[in-house]
Amino acid sequence: MTTARDLMTPGAECAGENDTLVEAARTMRDLDVGALPICGEDNRLKGMLTDRDIVVKCIADGGDPSQVTAGSFAQGKPVTIGADDSIEEALRTMEDHQVRRLPVIDGHTLVGMLAQADVARAVPAKTGEAVEEISRPG
């Protein structure tokens, strides 16, 4: 069985919950990614931050990204996948929550990120249907 651990990008870098959105945006730029996990002082996953969050939920609303913290976007329980969960479970989770990226957790530790593209490369036959489900309007 192929697991999330087999396909994930290991060593995910976090935006700290006390980092400003400017700092988080620079990290996204430097890593060439559009989303970052938000981790707390205890190194536990608190949520996800996207480039779209920064633009739409901060800047467009007149917020100052040099004053707003990443942690202010960590609302609710983040959607994750266990490192040893199957790729089928990962696809179901992506479909159910309409997300394209999942933080991969081993216990309470963030060990990587699994993107829709990672699954697409490994299991192309299942990806078309999954993309359709993930992208369907809510």
35-39 and 101-106 as β-strands: parallel, antiparallel, unpaired? unpaired
The strand ranges marked E within the chain are 9-10, 15-16, 35-39, 45-50, 81-82, 101-106, 109-115
- List all residues 6 or more positions away from 62 whose beta carbon is below 8 Å from its beta carbon: none
**Confidence band of 38 (pLDDT split at 50, 70, 90):** very high
Contact 93, 133 (CB under 8 A): no
On the question of pLDDT at 124 being above 90, the answer is no
Ordered by where they begin, the domains of the chain are 4-135 (3.10.580.10)
* 42/115: higher pLDDT: 115
- List all residues 6 or more positions away from 37 whose beta carbon is below 8 Å from its beta carbon: 12, 14, 15, 45, 47, 48, 49, 78, 103, 110, 113
**Residues 80-99: tens digit of each pLDDT:** 999 999 999 999 999 999 99
The one-letter amino acid at 44: R
pLDDT at 75: 73
pLDDT at 11: 86
Global pTM value: 0.81
